[in-house]
Amino acid sequence: MKNIITLILFLTTFFSAFAAKVDTLEIRSIAMDKTYKAAVVLPNSYTKSKANYPVVYLLHGAYGHFRDWLKSTPNKMLVHDLADQYNIIFVMPEGENFSFYLDSPVNKESQFETYITKEVIQKIDKTYRTIAKKNGRVITGLSMGGHGALYLSTRHPELFAGAGSMSGAVDMGGIRNRDTPEKINKLMEPVFGPEGASQEVYDSHAVIGMINKIKANNIELIIDCGVDDFLIEPNRELHRRMVYAKVNHDYTERPGAHTWEYWENALLYHVLFFDKIFKKNGTAVK
Amino acid sequence: MKNIITLILFLTTFFSAFAAKVDTLEIRSIAMDKTYKAAVVLPNSYTKSKANYPVVYLLHGAYGHFRDWLKSTPNKMLVHDLADQYNIIFVMPEGENFSFYLDSPVNKESQFETYITKEVIQKIDKTYRTIAKKNGRVITGLSMGGHGALYLSTRHPELFAGAGSMSGAVDMGGIRNRDTPEKINKLMEPVFGPEGASQEVYDSHAVIGMINKIKANNIELIIDCGVDDFLIEPNRELHRRMVYAKVNHDYTERPGAHTWEYWENALLYHVLFFDKIFKKNGTAVK
Amino acid sequence: MKNIITLILFLTTFFSAFAAKVDTLEIRSIAMDKTYKAAVVLPNSYTKSKANYPVVYLLHGAYGHFRDWLKSTPNKMLVHDLADQYNIIFVMPEGENFSFYLDSPVNKESQFETYITKEVIQKIDKTYRTIAKKNGRVITGLSMGGHGALYLSTRHPELFAGAGSMSGAVDMGGIRNRDTPEKINKLMEPVFGPEGASQEVYDSHAVIGMINKIKANNIELIIDCGVDDFLIEPNRELHRRMVYAKVNHDYTERPGAHTWEYWENALLYHVLFFDKIFKKNGTAVK
Amino acid sequence: MKNIITLILFLTTFFSAFAAKVDTLEIRSIAMDKTYKAAVVLPNSYTKSKANYPVVYLLHGAYGHFRDWLKSTPNKMLVHDLADQYNIIFVMPEGENFSFYLDSPVNKESQFETYITKEVIQKIDKTYRTIAKKNGRVITGLSMGGHGALYLSTRHPELFAGAGSMSGAVDMGGIRNRDTPEKINKLMEPVFGPEGASQEVYDSHAVIGMINKIKANNIELIIDCGVDDFLIEPNRELHRRMVYAKVNHDYTERPGAHTWEYWENALLYHVLFFDKIFKKNGTAVK
């Protein structure tokens, strides 16, 4: 018995010595006058190193929260493993049920574009040894978070060297076709208020309509979607428009639907993609 | 001076201790009554382990030879690094200038389907500690080798758990539109003899025409092509037909053309894809 | 009263003088040992002329019969009007509920390829002053009849100068995905017997798989489908394969679904298309 | 000799009695302080009737002029024949070499949007017995004129019940990729002045970017392009965006390139399409 306890203690020590570590950080938003939590996964090497680390911002989907990427993937150690394997810091901020990661024109309590691009990034760069500039910072996410990653990186190209989208809600305007106007308005109330918004306002926030800006930014992009995902057509349309406009990007279709099995797999490719960017930029930690 | 020599000796020993190792193997073909060389990259762990290793067969393109993947990628250690990182054996067999990896109906000296699927695999499995069966064996390649990997795995699904194609010549019938019949016949003389072949014969060897067989096999596939590649349209057509027929596969378009920069990048994703297969099959080496 | 009768007689005479005329013809099938009816619409000019007339064969869809094109279009005089306007004979033969216009390999009573291409055409050319050869004969149809027109013209290019398909069931193999195997087998029993057929057999009868033959034939083709039709994807796939293989054809997508409103409109374009062929071939009647 | 003169006189009278008639009209532009000619083809029935006639506005392409449709089609009587067959008035206004049928923001002498939609239409409706409103007026054209027809009808949906484009330059922004900036600026100087315009300005005039407006207008559209036309890709992209956005339209691809043979054929289908609109609207002349 004593031996078993010793063994357990040993193993605990052993793994804590080698595995990535999670911080739960409170990040104040002045814009929203609210405090949200964020999860931060530091690679195992972090504490033993003096290097500055590149950062992947990893966004959750609708009806989701900051901890999703740590608790919903089939492999619960997925993000930890990737942090260790690539020596990358992962930051998983809060995006609320339906913020769409934008600054609501009507609701002061939903200002997530400002929150992520100013308040979260600033806090992270002050708290950790990060590469606190574009060439060591990227952003990706799933579904609403895929939209968020492309939306924020397109509007703030000075912040991100690369961006990704998995099963992204890339055509925000299309959401209006998915249910009755009443239900959609209810759903989007945090963003557009109880009256909802016009098609024009929806369209103006859709990634699919920002091709020219994306092309001008020329940041590195990785976009994918499962062929059985209910969002495959908007993603195909985004890809076709990018091909037509000669916008550099990686685009993948693979088996799968809007599931965590899909996203667990997809994240492996996104991080490989980002690691190449960091290596090219000289911001990777060996 | 003596110190420098010591240092060099030390470094040599150090790297030979940690880096993957290349064998150049002579593999006899009874079918062709000829002997061709193959390059085999063993992961560093191989000699210290007793495990059986999964194998990636890696095919070269037209006008190429078995050593291409070791000498033409910008990073000359690419295959070595991947062997070490994933604990995989890479086998790079000979496919000659224009064998298209098939058994020539007219030329006994060009029987590369038989060579690869019988003679090479047998020799490799006898020479090394491999997982000598389907669930630990995959195949990929570039251009003519992308065709080869899909062609061989489609016709021998009992041999491979997965297959890949980078910038693949997936529509062999289309080659006839690329130059004058005389030049194409000359080019393909090793395969179809000085008379050339009819469109029907070309088409019958084209991967793009084997969708039903590919679907029935249901082996895992990863296919990609650069948007500036002269072979992008056949690859798009292959993808569309697979989507239409609901054939499971990963398909990626990304920036780039028919270049080694493209293939160096693409191989990273193929090996990640294969590693997932090996892990799922329990044939990966930890 | 006498006046009304006079008026009716007058109107009858008047319209018989100006409107196209319908014959219902019995056409014996030796192949099936059965007699089926066909409707033949002769243009008004026919009786007053000595010219030989070009012929449009017009096929009905599944669950349909020879008289459909005369009784189901919103404008009941559609075929008559077109016969008069273009000086064309329309022949509407029987195709039964589910013959798919092919020769059943198991059922002697369902030999509609032979029936249409030998028995019907022969009878028509013997009964009427037709252009009794390819350059004055075309074929089109809707749904199963769109398949039929493409299938028969592809296999008998010596008979037809042009062919059309509206909302065509161009991927016969795909029918197996539309319901349970039992129901599909039941449906197709007249063609493939109570056991049904393999996917290979279905595929071998699908127009979508005959691209090379269609290309070699090089007869003029007009193909269309409504964007809300349940058959739009097979039609898009057929078009894409034709574009990829550089097969000459007219392809149109327009608003609409699998309805007689759609087909009434589509027929106008098909006849315009065929009229151009007849004019070019010198087989149109002025 | 006398007999021949008699014959000629007779034939002249005969044909003027039965064939459509061409007027060459001078139409003053106050906006441009200039007078341009327009060709007007009246159907033969016009002089003998008191009816108001529907009008097809027919635009020429770049480097072209108002008389093109009368002198460049293989069949020189094409427009006349169609006028007679369908009882339609055709108006062929001037669009100059490179006006793109828009109001130049810098050049007062190139105000063709105003010219066509105000000055030409007003003059035509004052001069002839037209249906002087939307439900009897449509517009189509070739190449630059295809752009023009879609551009003007999209921006002035109150004027047109339908619009068409043959081989249309539907992505005006794309013109900048067709040659050096210097040459494109030179070409477009009448529109954008010697300095040229930014990509944004080009894009804002491109039909391909007006999908939402086109959808809201919901006027009837017929769009086509030859598969060998250098403008096929922009037309495919327009079609795909319309399909994606569920915009009603007829879209056709057919054999052919940027030639008068193609347009002569295409016009037949456009007029058939417009005739259906006029019949539905009750504005067709029997």
Is D4 a residue whose pLDDT tops 80? no
Cα of D254 to nearest chain C Cα, Å:
4
| CA pseudo-torsion sign A188, A192, A198, A202 | negative
Of A250, A255, A272, the CB nearest to B254: A250
Of A199, A212, A244, the CB nearest to D237: A244
Q: Report yes or no on D12 lying in a domain.
A: no
- What backbone torsions phi and psi does residue B32 show, to the nearest 5 degrees? -105, -5
ipTM: 0.92
The closest alpha carbon to A257, from A143, A178, A177, A146, belongs to A143
Of B227, B254, B272, the CB nearest to A272: B272
Is D190 a residue whose pLDDT tops 60? yes
Of A199, A200, A212, the CB nearest to D203: A212
Is B16 a residue whose pLDDT tops 50? no
Interface test with B, best of C244, C246, C247 (most B CBs within 10 A): C244
> Residue A88 has what pLDDT?
98
> Residue C119 has what pLDDT?
98
Q: Is C81 an interface residue toward D (CB < 8 Å)?
A: no
The CATH number that applies at residue D126 is 3.40.50.1820
Q: Report yes or no on A7 lying in a domain.
A: no
Q: Is B232 an interface residue toward C (CB < 8 Å)?
A: no
In terms of CA atoms, which chain A residue is nearest residue D238? Answer: A241
> Residue D188 has what pLDDT?
87
Q: Report yes or no on C6 lying in a domain.
A: no
> Residue B13 has what pLDDT?
43
Q: What residues contact A111, with CB distance under 8 A and at least 6 apart? A: A29, A31, A32, A103, A104
The answer to whether the Cβ–Cβ distance between C265 and D253 falls below 8 Å is no
CB-defined contacts A:B, below 8 A:
37
A111-114 long-range contacts (CB < 8 A, ≥24 apart) are A111/A29, A111/A31, A111/A32, A112/A148, A113/A151, A113/A152, A113/A155, A114/A29, A114/A31
Cα of B234 to nearest chain C Cα, Å:
8
> Residue C15 has what pLDDT?
44
Cα of C64 to nearest chain B Cα, Å:
28
C102-105 long-range contacts (CB < 8 A, ≥24 apart) are C102/C151, C102/C191, C102/C205, C103/C31, C104/C190, C104/C191, C104/C192, C104/C193, C105/C192, C105/C201
Rounded distance between C-alpha atoms, residue D53 and residue C134, angstroms = 41
Higher per-residue confidence, C186 vs C225: C225
Chain B positions touching C244 (Cβ under 8 A) are: 233, 237
> Residue D19 has what pLDDT?
66
| DSSP structure string for C246-265 | T---EEEEES--SSHHHHHH
Q: Is B189 an interface residue toward C (CB < 8 Å)?
A: no
Of B200, B212, B244, the CB nearest to C237: B244
Q: Report yes or no on B199 lying in a domain.
A: yes
Q: CA D243 → CA A200, D226, D248, D250, distances in Å? A: 19, 19, 8, 10
In terms of CA atoms, which chain B residue is nearest residue A266? Answer: B273
Cα of D91 to nearest chain C Cα, Å:
24
Span B77-95, average pLDDT: 98
Interface test with C, best of B171, B244, B247 (most C CBs within 10 A): B244
Q: Please tell me the least confidently modeled range out of A46-55, B208-217, C69-78, D9-18.
A: D9-18
The answer to whether the beta carbons of residues D81 and D267 sit under 8 Å apart is no
Rounded distance between C-alpha atoms, residue B154 and residue B216, angstroms = 9
Q: Is B245 an interface residue toward A (CB < 8 Å)?
A: no
Q: Is D251 an interface residue toward C (CB < 8 Å)?
A: yes
Is C117 a residue whose pLDDT tops 60? yes
**Chains C vs B: touching, with 3+ CB pairs under 8 Å?**
yes
The answer to whether the beta carbons of residues C82 and C159 sit under 8 Å apart is no
Domain, as residue range, for B65: 22-281
In sequence order, the β-bridge partners of residue B16 are none
Rounded distance between C-alpha atoms, residue B216 and residue B210, angstroms = 10
Span D229-253, average pLDDT: 97
Sorting pLDDT into bands at 50, 70 and 90, what band is C5?
low
Sorting pLDDT into bands at 50, 70 and 90, what band is B97?
very high
> Residue C20 has what pLDDT?
77
Q: Is D108 an interface residue toward C (CB < 8 Å)?
A: no
Q: Report yes or no on A64 lying in a domain.
A: yes
In terms of CA atoms, which chain D residue is nearest residue A216? Answer: D199
In terms of CA atoms, which chain C residue is nearest residue D254? Answer: C250
The answer to whether the Cβ–Cβ distance between A212 and D233 falls below 8 Å is no
In terms of CA atoms, which chain C residue is nearest residue D221? Answer: C254
| DSSP structure string for C66-91 | TTHHHHSSSSTTHHHHHHHHHT-EEE
The answer to whether the Cβ–Cβ distance between D254 and C250 falls below 8 Å is yes
Chain A positions touching D232 (Cβ under 8 A) are: none
HSE-CB of C262 using CA atoms within 13 angstroms: 22
The answer to whether the beta carbons of residues A57 and A163 sit under 8 Å apart is no
Is C12 a residue whose pLDDT tops 80? no
Which of the other chains make 3 or more beta carbon contacts under 8 angstroms with chain C?
Answer: B, D
Q: Is B240 an interface residue toward C (CB < 8 Å)?
A: yes
Q: Report yes or no on D33 lying in a domain.
A: yes
Structurally, how many domains does chain D consist of?
Answer: 1
Which of the other chains make 3 or more beta carbon contacts under 8 angstroms with chain D?
Answer: A, C
> Residue B185 has what pLDDT?
86
Rounded distance between C-alpha atoms, residue B20 and residue B79, angstroms = 9
> Residue D217 has what pLDDT?
97
Sorting pLDDT into bands at 50, 70 and 90, what band is D15?
very low
Interface test with B, best of A251, A264, A276 (most B CBs within 10 A): A251
Q: Report yes or no on B174 lying in a domain.
A: yes
Q: Report yes or no on B9 lying in a domain.
A: no
The answer to whether the Cβ–Cβ distance between C253 and D248 falls below 8 Å is no
HSE-CB of A256 using CA atoms within 13 angstroms: 20
Q: What is the pLDDT along chain A (286 residues), one digit of tens a residue?
A: 556 555 554 444 444 445 678 999 999 999 999 999 999 999 999 999 999 999 999 999 999 999 999 999 999 999 999 999 999 999 999 999 999 999 999 999 999 999 999 999 999 999 999 999 999 999 999 999 999 999 999 999 999 999 999 999 999 888 777 788 888 888 888 899 988 888 888 889 999 999 999 999 999 999 999 999 999 999 999 999 999 999 999 999 999 999 999 999 999 999 999 999 999 999 999 8
> Residue D183 has what pLDDT?
86
Q: Is A81 an interface residue toward B (CB < 8 Å)?
A: no
| CA pseudo-torsion sign A139, A145, A150, A152 | negative
- C30-89 residue pLDDT tens: 999 999 999 999 999 999 999 999 999 999 999 999 999 999 999 999 999 999 999 999
Q: Is C253 an interface residue toward D (CB < 8 Å)?
A: yes
Q: Is B268 an interface residue toward A (CB < 8 Å)?
A: yes
In terms of CA atoms, which chain C residue is nearest residue B243? Answer: C237
The answer to whether the Cβ–Cβ distance between D249 and C269 falls below 8 Å is no
- B20-53 residue pLDDT tens: 789 999 999 999 999 999 999 999 999 999 999 9
Global confidence as pTM: 0.92
- C199-226 residue pLDDT tens: 888 889 999 999 999 999 999 999 999 9
pLDDT > 90 fraction of chain B, expressed in percent and rounded: 82
- E strands, chain A, where? 21-29, 34-42, 55-59, 89-92, 137-141, 162-166, 220-226, 250-254
> Residue C178 has what pLDDT?
79
Angle at B228 between CA B222 and CA B230, to 5 degrees: 80
> Residue C184 has what pLDDT?
85
- D29-55 residue pLDDT tens: 999 999 999 999 999 999 999 999 999
Cα of D143 to nearest chain C Cα, Å:
19
Q: What residues contact C204, with CB distance under 8 A and at least 6 apart? A: none
**Chains A vs D: touching, with 3+ CB pairs under 8 Å?**
yes
The answer to whether the Cβ–Cβ distance between A269 and B269 falls below 8 Å is yes
Chain B positions touching C200 (Cβ under 8 A) are: 212
Q: CA D155 → CA B43, D103, D160, D216, distances in Å? A: 66, 12, 10, 11
